[in-house]
A and B are shown apart, each in its own frame.
Chain A
């Protein structure tokens, strides 16, 4: 009996020491995903109840507060540009030749009928400074072993009080994320796949967002090219670049 307990204690302590804490894991995720700047060309495939459509765009982002997106395809959307500076968003539509500012509640509207709201699309908040994390279990996704993390907001005012993340145990890349309402209702699910090593970081090149309250198969983001921490000229993030 004594031997059994000794073995059990050894097994448990070994297991505890091999499993990083939630905080360590989200630190590693942030280190992996949060970049000073990002320049990407991507496709957004919106799978709605009435069929799907693809929109191509190029985006430049700096930190959490600045981003600039230009839609390049299809012809109907070509030339549409979006500029986000802190909590303000401007959209330029070539068909109207006007710059429209979208603020406050309108940031919560869907982007071109996708499963993302404007603020979802531009959210790049690092997890460490906004959430506490605890490991609640493990799972296997895409043939990779994952930690399951529950994230609780450190302060009131976060869009989502509770998040659940499946994190690749080796690469520290989230492979699935679920966002919950205060009531506990599942609101959004994100599946991340096609993880590639880019400039020494593991990065998912395909992200599928699904608004769990809506019909349809969600919205896919497929990165064609992605470069991180490149210097972006300051004039990109100015209203002058919209026209």
Chain B
């Protein structure tokens, strides 16, 4: 206890030098907590958005369908099996049919995916009621990314060309009945949504679908021949990979920040031992063993981290709280990156991360304080008393 009291007194006595170290360490801790909070917040928001807008409670894919291989769209569709049809009729699932097509906004050809979805569905957030036809023109919906890319606006008419199930070209004009905004680019980029019955009629693929979105909370996912159930582990795989990559990038930043802060503590320790040789000799002359003096100096250095945790809590908590409440704005144009990311990220500060990072800082600061302090153990007290550099 004496060592702690003495260390604290010495630290406070060192004045500005101590507070600079404490501030740099607290800044490192703050940045680490903030960055990991942003990444975790993004992860949680993105998954919630994907569940709301795209994947619901999981999906059944036609066994030949692969969203990353457009060639599979030719054969990756079939008539809904009875088990899934029943789910759709009960409002527990919604079928989606996908085909390749070309759209010609302002006379420029753009290859797109034409997707058909039941207009009365409430499984995903898209306001598909807008797809209901009020005239002979087919109503369609696009996302804001697609609208920006094609310069299409609500009520615009645009020509779409596609091939039917037999490979014959067909074309018609469709009306943009609505433009939706979503954080999920995979249902927006280069896609046009029409009602399922319209697309089935257009392509001659009656009662067929490419994949089926299940309602959130569905627990029973029976095996259906010809269809493969895809759970969150598969559907979030791409996002998880991105988040993991970002996490690794974050660790590099943490290491750099922490190294800079620890370097300052290390330098301070070296300087302290160099300047306080007489003091060290006095401690030994008064009866302390050399290792007790090493312990004293190590605690002194380690207390930087304790003070920095307190400082980070004092000045960092209000900032972290405010950002968590108001959100952290992403740069403009982030929509175009093809990532599921909100315009504002609300950080999520996991207690586990904060505790882990605090412990890491405490341990590493103690280690870097101990390393230069070991020199004391090799000192001759008489020489130290005389202030002779050893």
Contacts and interface: CB of A to CB of B under 8 A. Distances in A.
A182 B108 contact: no
Contacts, number: 68
Interface string A172-207: 000000010111010100000000000000000000
Contacts of B164: 182
Interface string A134-167: 0000000000000000000100111111000000
A65 to B, nearest CB: 17
A211 to B, nearest CB: 7
A59 interface: no
A159 B109 contact: no
Nearest to A119: B167
Interface string A207-221: 000010111100000
A105 B71 contact: yes
B159 A213 contact: yes
A213 B161 contact: yes
B90 interface: no
A49 interface: yes
Interface in B100-135: 100, 102, 104, 106-109, 111
B336 interface: no
Contact of A105 (B73, B161, B166): B73
A104 interface: yes
A74 B167 CA distance: 34
B168 interface: yes
A180 B163 CA distance: 12
Interface stretch (B169-177, B178-186, B321-329, B362-370): B169-177
A232 interface: no
Given A103-B71, A105-B74, A213-B161, A183 B166 contact: no
Contacts of B111: 109
B71 A182 contact: no
Given A157-B167, A159-B169, A181-B171, A215 B106 contact: yes
A108 interface: yes
A182 B161 contact: no
B74 A187 contact: no
Nearest to A156: B166
Interface in B238-284: none
Contact of A187 (B71, B107, B161): B161
Contacts of A108: 100, 102, 163
B172 A213 contact: no
A110 B159 CA distance: 17
Question: Mostly helix, strand, loop or mixed at chain B's interface?
Answer: mixed
A106 interface: yes
Contacts of B108: 49, 214-215
Interface of A: 49, 103-106, 108-110, 153, 156-161, 179, 181-183, 185, 187, 211, 213-216
Contacts of B71: 103-106
Contact of B100 (A105, A158, A181): A105
B173 to A, nearest CB: 9
Interface in B41-85: 70-71, 73-74
Contacts of A153: 168
Contacts of B107: 49, 213-216
A36 B100 CA distance: 34
Given A103-B71, A104-B71, A105-B71, A213 B166 contact: no
Contacts of A160: 168-169
Nearest to B159: A213
Contacts of B167: 157-159
A213 B109 contact: yes
Indicate the member of A106, A109, A153, A183 with the most B CB atoms within 10 Å.
A183
A156 B74 CA distance: 16
Nearest to B204: A156
A241 to B, nearest CB: 25
Given A161-B168, A213-B104, A214-B107, 20 more contacts: A104-B71, A105-B73, A108-B102, A110-B109, A156-B166, A156-B168, A157-B166, A158-B167, A158-B168, A159-B168, A160-B169, A183-B171, A187-B169, A187-B171, A211-B109, A213-B107, A213-B109, A213-B159, A214-B104, A215-B107
A92 to B, nearest CB: 20
Contacts of B161: 181, 187, 213
26 contacts: A49-B108, A104-B70, A105-B71, A105-B74, A106-B70, A110-B109, A156-B168, A158-B167, A159-B163, A159-B168, A159-B169, A160-B169, A181-B169, A181-B171, A181-B172, A182-B164, A182-B168, A185-B171, A187-B171, A211-B109, A213-B104, A213-B107, A213-B159, A214-B109, A215-B108, A216-B107
B97 to A, nearest CB: 15
B169 A182 contact: yes
B86 to A, nearest CB: 32
